[in-house]
Chains A and B, each alone.
Chain A
Amino acid sequence: MSTDWNNFTPWSALAGGALIGLAAALLLLLNGRIAGISGVLGGLLKPVSGDISWRVAFVLGLVGAPLVYGLFAGLPVPEINAGNTALIAAGLLVGVGTRYGSGCTSGHGVCGLSRLSPRSLVATACFMGAGFATVFVIRHFLTF
């Protein structure tokens, strides 16, 4: 193992992280809700009256963020190397897994750890561990 200092971007990572934390703080203090993206999105698939508009608005904010960001700064181009089959398999796993496990990187990772929730700590350890293991298998085991 070695550290990739060339791609390490500590200041933008910290500042971007602080913005993510600020967004979670806004939704908590103003709306009384957890900024867990899989939960916000998943709740729209089984809509409950009176509990829809804030979810739609939050998702629109996320999807619209690059359009607004692009007005003020250069927009980075994402590098998506996975092929369509891998993307479909990954999407299905992420969809089922986040709903079955009640959260993702934002709900369990950011908000759960901020609340010092042991349940979220276990979930975060599980998806991080599985993520490390999966990348290890794909990058260092399957490619020879």
Chain B
Amino acid sequence: MLAFTSLLAGLVFGFGLILSGMANPANVLGFLDLFGRWDPSLGLVMGGSVAVAGTAFFLARRRTVSLLGAVMKLPTARHIDRRLVIGSVLFGVGWGIAGFCPGPALVALGMGQGKAVVFVLAMLAGMGLFELLELQKHSSAQPAR
């Protein structure tokens, strides 16, 4: 059941990205081009999504289990540190280069776009690189025996 509702959420998320135009990198870059011919559409996409999702988060604020009985797993981290800032800046630079963030890239992959395949493979390699670096950090943090 949880896999089915998750599939449904993924589908609806994808429909939203397609309808809003955000699965198209040219539209995303049009928004990020603040100093050229600026297309404010993405701002409205964010506004519309936060209005709906914000209501849901408000309704769910005291729940410990979901409507289907799954444990609510919400982020607990609150600290603002170098990792958060540096990681987000690196992401923003990559976003600005191609106009792809993870969701729209997966949708464009489903559209059979060859360039999306290249981007998604590189993105997965980047995520894998992160896991390797974390693994190395944790093993070197162990006391020597």
Contact = CB atoms under 8 A, between A and B. Distances in A.
Interface residues of A, number: 114
Contacts of B17: 16, 20, 62, 65
Given A16-B19, A41-B127, A76-B18, A89 B94 contact: yes
20 contacts: A12-B21, A15-B20, A16-B16, A17-B16, A20-B52, A25-B52, A26-B8, A34-B73, A37-B106, A41-B106, A55-B6, A64-B110, A78-B113, A88-B119, A100-B87, A101-B88, A102-B87, A115-B54, A122-B88, A134-B92
Q: Is the interface of A mostly helix, strand, loop or mixed?
A: helix
A13 to B, nearest CB: 4
Contacts of B79: 119
Interface residues of B, number: 115
B141 interface: no
Q: Which of B30, B40, B93, B126 has the most CB of A within 10 A?
A: B126
Interface string A91-128: 11111111111111110111111111111001110111
Contacts of B41: 7-10, 13
Contacts, number: 504
Interface of A: 1-4, 7-10, 12-35, 37-38, 41-42, 45-46, 53-69, 75-82, 84, 86-106, 108-119, 122-124, 126-136, 138-140
Nearest to A130: B92
Interface string B65-83: 1111011111101111001
